[in-house]
């Protein structure tokens, strides 16, 4: 059952429970994340969503150390996914700082067409990474 909640920015997000093929239940923070999980499952892409899995960054206010919790981790690709339908200056700073301070791969998914074609997007990312490593 979907539940709407107001975010810090004042916009609305729809939380939902996603049931994985193996029966696990996972809380999703938005309808876009729910759709993305469905598309990845349909494509056979393994993913992890764990609120205890985080990366560090420093907030622009007071330069305090903070925790960024990725939307998804794809272990077969060693890739984090961040689903963002809109960008604030604070969100842009956070993602730039996360990428600067952590030696990780992050793919930003910024539109519903990208969510709907997540399998193609991830495979293109993997192909580009292989090309760079050759």
What average pLDDT does the chain have?
84
The pLDDT of residue 43 is above 80: yes
C-beta of residue 66 within 8 angstroms of C-beta of residue 56:
yes
pLDDT tens column, 72-121: 999 999 999 999 877 888 888 888 888 888 888 999 999 999 999 999 99
d(Cα 4, Cα 87) in Å, to the nearest integer? 20
C-beta of residue 35 within 8 angstroms of C-beta of residue 21:
no
Q: Residue ranges of the domains in the chain?
A: 3-133
The pLDDT of residue 56 is above 90: no
Token look-up 């305090």 returns 64
With bands split at pLDDT 50, 70 and 90, how would you rate the model's confidence at 127?
A: very high
Higher pLDDT, 29 or 6: 29
| Ordered DSSP codes for 95-126 | HHHHHHHS---EEEE-SHHHHHTHHHHHHHHH
H-helix or E-strand spanning residue 72:
strand 72-74
pTM of the model: 0.81
């Amino acid at each position: 059952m979907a539940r709407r909640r107001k975010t810090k920015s004042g916009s609305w997000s729809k939380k939902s429970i996603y049931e994985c093929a193996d029966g696990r239940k996972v809380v999703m923070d938005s309808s876009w994340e729910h759709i993305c999980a469905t598309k990845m499952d349909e494509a056979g892409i393994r993913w992890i969503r764990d609120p205890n899995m985080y990366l560090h960054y420093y907030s622009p206010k007071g330069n305090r150390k903070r925790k960024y919790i990725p939307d998804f981790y794809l272990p077969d690709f060693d890739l984090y996914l961040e689903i963002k339908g809109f960008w604030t200056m604070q969100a842009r700073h956070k993602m730039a700082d996360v990428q600067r301070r952590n030696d990780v791969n992050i793919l930003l998914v910024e539109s519903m067409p990208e969510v709907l074609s997540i399998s193609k997007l991830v495979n293109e990312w993997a192909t580009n990474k292989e090309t760079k490593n050759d």
